Amino acid sequence: MIYYIGFGSNLGEREYLIRRAIRLMEQQLGKLLGEAPLNYSQAVGFASEHEFCNTVALYESAFSPQEVLTCAQSIEQQLGRPEHKAVVLHGKREYTDRLIDIDILMAYDEGLDVQMETPTLTLPHPQMQMREFVQQPLRELIDKLIADATLSFVKMHGLGNDYIYFDCTGSSQAWLLLPVVTTYAPLLCDRHRGIGGDGLVFILPDKKADLRMRIFNADGSEAEMCGNAARCVGYYAVCRHLVKSKRLRLATKGGERLIEVKDREHISVHMGKPADQGTQTIDERTYHCVDIGNPHAVTLLTDNDALTKELVHTVGPQVENNPLFPNRTNVEFCVVIDRHHVAMRVWERGSGETQACGTGATATAYACIRQGLCASPVTVTLLGGNLTIALDGEEAIMTGEATIAYTGTITINGQMAND
């Protein structure tokens, strides 16, 4: 696990205690990966008139959060931390001086943010967002570690729907991006100043499934599921021998998916049971709402001539951000060609128009079948190529290709090298 741990003292002259605490944690907890420089700020809300001295350190450890907390409390006592007392003056909670204070700010287990609340521990730290004197060194630490790191990546695409993939199964280095992904995703996905892509995908180990996928849109927002990315992860896992067979279970935020890899051009993702969520009317246009682990709004057009870039780029963002969809939505524009063929363009939530969208194709085919306009299997033609959507009972199965474009390394201080 990865732990971001804060060290503080209400007494500015106690800096040496913080240095000592950082080293003791390293000896007892695990590997120290980096630390932020000490920062000083006025002690607002504390009984002490001294400055508040703090720093943030990053550790890699096999210990559980509760074990780390116990370790921190032991070190506090060892270094002479007095009993914690709080006083209320004029209705305001203030704190007595402390020689040393150690808090777990954030933790990551297999690339997942650890969320937990017990009588003694809450993760992430409940007051972290309110405390700029903690946020500042935390940002400095992460930025420094990222700037010093050389990150390996793989550029893959499914029918042109391209993502930057970080294989975290053998290294946790790319996890450094997770707390600041909203900052770095737009930079990395910029097609003029970065690698370029529709988003970032982290390929992670998982305790139950064969692998886990976390996917972030180009704007840094996290998506629940992506069919094209799932196919790419499945193909990559088989090619790199991350799994023992050509069938694997992939955990996603939208649920677990079974992937079957026949060859590069025939990779099937069992998308689960689509959920029909009724219709919405926006500006006199009807949208069929379907959930495939992530939300979609599908609208039918009368002919291919109506399926234009202007329509997608004008109406797409308006529907994506419509108040009817509190978590925003993906938007599909489609034309039925015949009973087994649909043409589609997609405006993806957080990324804009993309060459293809596997969950969008699945939602579109499902919506057309539900309305009696099509029958399974349905070929969905997107800007990047074709996907086949079949219904097996109530489950949708998507089949298409995946391509490994290139591999490379990046240091995010402006130096990039592609293989």
The SS3 call for residue 326 is coil
Q: Which of 96-100, 135-139, 344-348, 409-413 has the highest mean pLDDT?
A: 344-348
pLDDT exceeds 60 at position 207: yes
pLDDT tens digit string along 308-331?
A: 999 999 999 999 999 999 999 999
Confidence (pLDDT) at 131 = 77
* 349-to-62, 145, 300, 314, 327 alpha-carbon distances in Å: 36, 30, 19, 14, 9
Confidence (pLDDT) at 418 = 46
Q: Where are the domains of the chain?
A: 2-147, 151-265+404-411, 272-400
Range 243-247, long-range pairs (CB < 8 A, 24+ positions): 243/210, 243/211
Higher pLDDT, 103 or 97: 103
Q: Are 378 and 369 in contact (CB under 8 A)?
A: yes
Fold agreement between 2-147 and 272-400: no
pLDDT exceeds 60 at position 414: no
> Has 189 been annotated as catalytic?
no
Average pLDDT over residues 271-276: 96
CB atoms closer than 10 angstroms to residue 315:
17
Average pLDDT over residues 232-254: 97
Instruction: Give the confidence band of 305 by pLDDT, cuts at 50, 70, 90.
Output: confident
Distance CA 194, CA 174 (A): 16
The DSSP symbol for 37 reads P
Mean pLDDT over each residue of the chain, to the nearest integer = 90
pLDDT exceeds 70 at position 338: yes
Higher pLDDT, 344 or 416: 344
Fold exhibited by the domain 272-400: Diaminopimelate Epimerase; Chain A, domain 1 (3.10.310)
pLDDT exceeds 80 at position 253: yes
Catalytic residue among 53, 71, 226, 368: 226
Higher pLDDT, 53 or 395: 395
Confidence (pLDDT) at 98 = 62
Catalytic residue among 53, 334, 357, 368: 357
Instruction: Give the confidence band of 42 by pLDDT, cuts at 50, 70, 90.
Output: low
Average pLDDT over residues 23-39: 89
Confidence (pLDDT) at 62 = 94
Sign of CA dihedral 109, 236, 332, 364: negative
CATH of domain 151-265+404-411: 3.10.310.10
Least-confidence region, from 31-45, 125-139, 252-266, 269-283: 31-45
* Residue 175 burial (10 A CB sphere; 0-12, 13-18, 19+): buried
Distance CA 3, CA 9 (A): 20
Confidence (pLDDT) at 16 = 82
Confidence (pLDDT) at 331 = 98
pLDDT exceeds 90 at position 17: no
Average pLDDT over residues 155-163: 97
Confidence (pLDDT) at 395 = 96
Average pLDDT over residues 167-186: 91
> Has 168 been annotated as catalytic?
no
Least-confidence region, from 46-55, 60-69, 228-237, 375-384: 46-55
Least-confidence region, from 52-66, 124-138, 164-178, 217-231: 124-138
Omega of the bond leading into 126 within 30 degrees of 0 (cis): no
Structural tokens at position 383: 């800007």
Fold exhibited by the domain 2-147: Alpha-Beta Plaits (3.30.70)
Structural tokens at position 88: 């209320």
Least-confidence region, from 39-48, 150-159, 173-182, 196-205: 39-48
pLDDT exceeds 80 at position 278: yes
pLDDT tens digit string along 54-87?
A: 789 999 999 999 999 999 999 988 887 555 555 5
